[in-house]
Amino acid sequence: MRLEMKIGNALLKEKNGVTVLVEKKEFLDQDRKKSTFRPSMIRLRRDDPVPVLRYGLLTTAILACGKDVPEADVLKYDLLKDLDSHIQANTPVASLEFREDRLDRVLWEALGCEGDETPPKKIVPFIKRGDITNFSPWSPKIRDSDAQLVGRSFFACPEHMTEAAVREPAVGINSRSFGYHALHLVRNNRGTNVDYLLNAKVDIDGVEYPLQSAILGNAPENFSAFPDALPESLSCLAEALIQVIEHGSNYHEVESFPGNTFRCIALDYEEAPVEVTPVTSVELIDFVHRYLASLSNRTGTTEMTIGDGNAINIGAYASNVAGHLALLTQPDPNLTSTYFMNDAKLFRAELSRLTNGFLTKKQRAALSRRIVSRKEGQLNKSEWDAIMQGLENAALLYLKRIENAISLYEILSTESQDIEEPMALVKSGNWPGLEELITEKRFTNVDVIKLAENIFSDVYREIDLSNCDDFSERAVRKLQDVIWSRRGDYV
Amino acid sequence: MCNKKVLISLSADNINVTQPPALSLSPMSVSQFLDALERRMRNVCDEEIEELDFGRFLIGVSRFSVARGQTSGAGMEMTTTRKADQHATRHKSPYLLRGSADIVLVVDCEVEIEDEEGEDTILQKEMTTVIHQMKFLGGHITDLNIEVFDIGEFKEKARKKIAGKRKCYFYRLRDELLQRYLAEYGNPVRAVMEASRPVYHKDAETANNMDEESAGSRKRPTRNEPGFLFLSSIGYQLLEQPKQRRNTRFSWPHAFAEPIFSLIELIPASKAMKVTEKGEMADLYWQKKYDRNSLSYFVLQQ
């Protein structure tokens, strides 16, 4: 197996059985010719762009955090160290033997470490600092508004609405009015270029996998667009990365640290002054508004500022589009998301602004040329069909599982007198517990076992059932978009 | 304690303007400016002014212009070369974020000053001094005129001053319209689209005199015209209970919050003053509210 990992202008490749970091001049020149300023996510046409972006931004957020502090490299190292510790810990990742995989070695080698020796203080950075030229003044920082309330970080999901999530303001609208709780974005004025991450690719046996797709790829069906099945190691890497991001120290640091650069205001909260940091998920509304206004009146719009007069956060905007517009998708095709998604020109222009806050004149010209090209960016009908079909399949799989579970529940309730325990397990969604109960052969009904197998077989394929939390979180994350988009029909 | 009405006419440059399609100030921002003014006056003028309490306020905007070329970092820079212009024209929405405006604020004020005879003068003088040291929505105040009126004489004296201003519009909250559309369409995006689309709206109060045909047929209106409905931030909803965090001012508790938006309609000053005569001017006064249930803090017209 040939293995190459390309991150920014650096290339990690295998030489004589050892993975090394390559930074050749020729390679850099060649790379520049390819104009890497354009994020690879735009090229992911056969994937659902929404989770790609969301996970991409989630990933960038944590790395952007690292750039905020002077010791960025140290933080980056910590990030990778977290990743490694996750791999070593008793997590589903470890159960899939990720430790032995070469990708692990790639990352480990990138740190300049061998074996279990103590990592050197000065690590090999993914990308030389001098290469980071396009600084975007707004980098997305993601926080889950209800994460503190539910004690964990979920994406929007109807099954996990909390009291706070459904509470709407007394007047007006905000994202609560849409009925979901959102990932909010916190302003960071210092900014970081995140292209190197967006451009990260892994080349396995001659097939190039964007790292973002790997991050997305914890659901195998999402990878139907790729020629082969997703390499397990890549899936593990993605999973580990997400776990690191969500549970890493940096992520929580963002949540708990308003920072000097944030625009804060004070207001009277129960007669006591409170400092407030506005977060910007409502700009979604503005976007739709602005875009539709621009359709009818090309000169009638300018940029919006939020709340206290702060400028719009393009990162937040794009992230909103990425993370939330899908949730607003209505069965009615004439509504907003379709408008948006069909306009590849607008979509890509805004995405470019997200990832390239400042462009050189040459880059802008190149960008504008790309924008007018219909070939590269616009999703055609068949591509859309493929995406929608994949999502629909995922949703149906999920619903089928629920259906099976309900049948199982009914059978259990009729067969057994001692129904309380399985009922409690089913109600609480504790599938591992239920499975344990059944495999202890306390229920001998064939139907029960068959149904249980139906339920658990695909679960076995994907995840480690030893961790119940992991199951629910992963399943939720995988299917939430589809369930949300079709909630009118199913939920 | 006596009640006064303070008429603050100010011009400011490089202020943070808000939101398409109408250039506007966010009422919440104005409220925060007044809060800051009140806090400062209490701190600075504690010798001359014994007690001070700001209440309701009116927002009127008479001139609005945008400083072209001032862009956010995230937006595009306007360039001068021809090629770049051509490129810029592809983006119809350059990021114009800062503008200059003439603003009229009327603030209800409860004040207690020792020197009762000269209380108007003292209040005016102190307020002028303090405001000159402040920024207005992030911009510099270039012109300032403050007049203090008794409640009784306000109608007579201020009416001409305000109504005489050319193209001066007051902000009227139309949340009920937004809620109606929300109930009708069920989808906030759709509701906002319907309510704030850039045509004269038949539901706009100032367009009531028009028959529906003419109202509907006049498209592409100038933005800052009466009857225009637009979204603006009217408050914040706290996303969490405030908690102690690092780097907050005066170690105040901190909370992340999300802006609350609602519809606002422009009411011409002359009409607003006519409304005043009918005793309905109170409708246009903004008031601060705090809703404990939803942890939301906003300004409202009642």
The span from the CA of B176 to the CA of B153, in Å, is: 33
pLDDT at B172: 87
Task: Give domain status of residue B51, yes or no.
Answer: yes
SS3 A439: helix
A120 with A236, same domain? yes
Tokens of A42: 């735009």
Task: Give domain status of residue B300, yes or no.
Answer: no
Does any CB of chain A come closer than 8 Å to the CB of residue B302? no
Task: Give domain status of residue A3, yes or no.
Answer: yes
User: Among residues 99-138 of chain B, which lie with CB inside 8 Å of chain A?
Assistant: 137-138
Instruction: Kindly determine whether residue B74 and residue A313, on different chains, have CB atoms separated by under 8 Å.
Output: yes
Residue of B nearest to A310 (CA): B16
The residue that leads in pLDDT, B11 or A206, is B11
Domain range for A349 is: 1-139+188-259+287-322+341-376
Q: Residue A417 carries which DSSP code?
A: S
pLDDT at B50: 82
A360 with A396, same domain? no
pLDDT at B146: 92
Residue B156 predicted with pLDDT over 50: yes
Range name among A386-395, B28-37, B149-158 with the lowest pLDDT average: A386-395
A118 with A215, same domain? yes
**B205-219 b/e (C-beta count within 10 Å ≥ 16 → b):** bbbeebeeeebeeee
A298 with A225, same domain? yes
The residue that leads in pLDDT, B101 or B271, is B101
Residue B124 predicted with pLDDT over 80: yes
Q: Which residues of chain A have pLDDT under 70?
A: 1-167, 174-271, 277-420, 422-432, 434-491
The span from the CA of B226 to the CA of B206, in Å, is: 6
**Averaged pLDDT of chain B:** 72
DSSP class per residue in A198-215: HT-EEEETTEEEEHHHHH
Number of independent structural domains in chain B: 1
What backbone torsions phi and psi does residue A51 show, to the nearest 5 degrees? -65, -30
B32 contacts B135 by C-beta, under 8 angstroms = no
A198 with A112, same domain? yes
Instruction: Kindly determine whether residue A268 and residue B288, on different chains, have CB atoms separated by under 8 Å.
Output: yes
Mutate which of B26, B64, B176, B237 to test chain A, going by most A C-beta atoms within 10 A?
B237
**Cis, peptide link before residue A278, omega less than 30° from 0:** no
pLDDT at B227: 73
Tokens of B80: 């001068």
Instruction: Kindly determine whether residue B255 and residue A276, on different chains, have CB atoms separated by under 8 Å.
Output: yes
Residue of A nearest to B189 (CA): A285
A488 contacts A329 by C-beta, under 8 angstroms = no
Residue by residue, what is the 3-state secondary structure of A283-312?
HHHHHHHHHHHHHHCCCCCCCCEECCCEEC
Looking up tokens 């129904």 gives A419
The span from the CA of A9 to the CA of A174, in Å, is: 41
Task: Give domain status of residue B151, yes or no.
Answer: yes
SS3 A15: strand
Does any CB of chain A come closer than 8 Å to the CB of residue B172? no
A481 with A351, same domain? no
Domain range for B78 is: 2-169
Q: What is the pLDDT of residues A144-193, one digit of tens each?
A: 333 333 333 332 222 333 344 446 778 887 666 654 444 343 333 222 22
A366 with A434, same domain? no
List CB contacts (< 8 A) between A484 and chain B.
none
Number of independent structural domains in chain A: 2
The span from the CA of B258 to the CA of B238, in Å, is: 6
Mutate which of B189, B190, B228, B240 to test chain A, going by most A C-beta atoms within 10 A?
B189
A352 with A482, same domain? no
A138 contacts A188 by C-beta, under 8 angstroms = yes
B62 contacts B97 by C-beta, under 8 angstroms = no
The identity of residue B158, as a single letter, is A
Task: Give domain status of residue A62, yes or no.
Answer: yes
Residue B71 predicted with pLDDT over 50: no
Residue B140 predicted with pLDDT over 50: yes
A253 with A399, same domain? no
Instruction: Kindly determine whether residue B182 and residue A177, on different chains, have CB atoms separated by under 8 Å.
Output: yes
B81 contacts B119 by C-beta, under 8 angstroms = no
Task: Give domain status of residue A274, yes or no.
Answer: no
Least Cα separation, residue A292 to chain B (angstroms): 8
Looking up tokens 């009708």 gives B184
Q: What is the pLDDT of residues B53-66, one digit of tens each?
A: 898 898 988 877 76
Strands B98-113 and B49-66: antiparallel
A65 with A110, same domain? yes
Q: How confident is the model at residue B31 (pLDDT cuts 50, 70, 90)?
A: confident
Range name among A395-399, B223-227, B247-251 with the lowest pLDDT average: A395-399
Task: Tell me how far apart the terminal alpha carbons of chain B are, to the nearest angstrom.
Answer: 24
Among A275, A217, A237, A265, smallest CA distance to A477 is for: A217
ipTM, interface predicted TM-score of the complex:
0.74
List CB contacts (< 8 A) between B236 and chain A.
267, 276, 278, 307
Instruction: Kindly determine whether residue A174 and residue B248, on different chains, have CB atoms separated by under 8 Å.
Output: no
A473 contacts A231 by C-beta, under 8 angstroms = no
Q: How confident is the model at residue B8 (pLDDT cuts 50, 70, 90)?
A: very high
Give the domain-ending residue among A332, A360, A376.
A376
Task: Give domain status of residue A173, yes or no.
Answer: no
Instruction: Kindly determine whether residue B93 and residue A303, on different chains, have CB atoms separated by under 8 Å.
Output: yes
Averaged pLDDT for residues B166-185: 84
The residue that leads in pLDDT, B238 or A56, is B238
DSSP class per residue in chain B: -EEEEEEEEEEEEEEE-B-SSS-B--HHHHHHHHHHHHHHHHHHTTTTEEEEEEEEEEEEEEEEEE-TT---TTSPPP--SHHHHHHHHH-S-----EEEEEEEEEEEEEEEES-STTHHHHHHHHHHHHHHTS-BTTBEEEEEEEEEEEHHHHHHHHHHHHHTSTT-EEEEE-HHHHHHHHHHHS-HHHHHHHHT-SB--TT-GGGTTS-HHHHHH-BS--SSSTT-EEEEEEEEEESS--B--TT-GGG--EEEEEEEEEEEEEEEHHHHHHHHHTT-GGGG-EEEEEETTTTEEEEEE-
Does any CB of chain A come closer than 8 Å to the CB of residue B55? no
Mutate which of B29, B54, B258, B264 to test chain A, going by most A C-beta atoms within 10 A?
B258
Task: Give domain status of residue B17, yes or no.
Answer: yes
Q: How confident is the model at residue B144 (pLDDT cuts 50, 70, 90)?
A: very high
Residue of B nearest to A298 (CA): B92
Top-ranked range on mean pLDDT: pick from A107-111, B38-42, B66-70: B38-42
Task: Give domain status of residue B93, yes or no.
Answer: yes
A219 Ramachandran zone, left/alpha/beta (phi>0; psi -120 to 50):
beta
A348 with A419, same domain? no
List CB contacts (< 8 A) between B14 and chain A.
none
Tokens of A355: 């990832």
Q: How confident is the model at residue B288 (pLDDT cuts 50, 70, 90)?
A: confident
Percentage of chain B lying above the pLDDT 70 cut: 67
Residue B182 predicted with pLDDT over 70: yes
Instruction: Kindly determine whether residue A308 and residue B233, on different chains, have CB atoms separated by under 8 Å.
Output: yes
Least Cα separation, residue A366 to chain B (angstroms): 10
Residue B255 predicted with pLDDT over 60: yes
Mutate which of B38, B93, B220, B262 to test chain A, going by most A C-beta atoms within 10 A?
B93
Averaged pLDDT for residues B144-162: 82
Task: Give domain status of residue A89, yes or no.
Answer: yes
Torsion of CA B125, B130, B133, B137, to 10 degrees: -120
Residue of A nearest to B73 (CA): A137
Instruction: Count residue pairs from A and B with Cβ separation < 8 A.
Output: 285
Tokens of A75: 């933080």
List CB contacts (< 8 A) between A177 and chain B.
182, 188
pLDDT at B29: 81
Out of B97, B245, B290, the one facing A257 most closely (by C-beta) is B245
Among B203, B140, B212, smallest CA distance to B175 is for: B203
List CB contacts (< 8 A) between B261 and chain A.
172-174, 282, 285
Instruction: Kindly determine whether residue B237 and residue A176, on different chains, have CB atoms separated by under 8 Å.
Output: yes
Q: Which residues pair with B11 in a beta bridge?
A: B102, B143
Task: Give domain status of residue B89, yes or no.
Answer: yes
Q: Residue A323 carries which DSSP code?
A: I
Task: Give domain status of residue B226, yes or no.
Answer: no
Does any CB of chain A come closer than 8 Å to the CB of residue B290? yes
A315 with A361, same domain? yes
Task: Give domain status of residue A217, yes or no.
Answer: yes
Tokens of A243: 């776990």
Least Cα separation, residue A274 to chain B (angstroms): 5
Task: Give domain status of residue B215, yes or no.
Answer: no
Q: Which residues pair with B106 in a beta bridge?
A: B7, B58
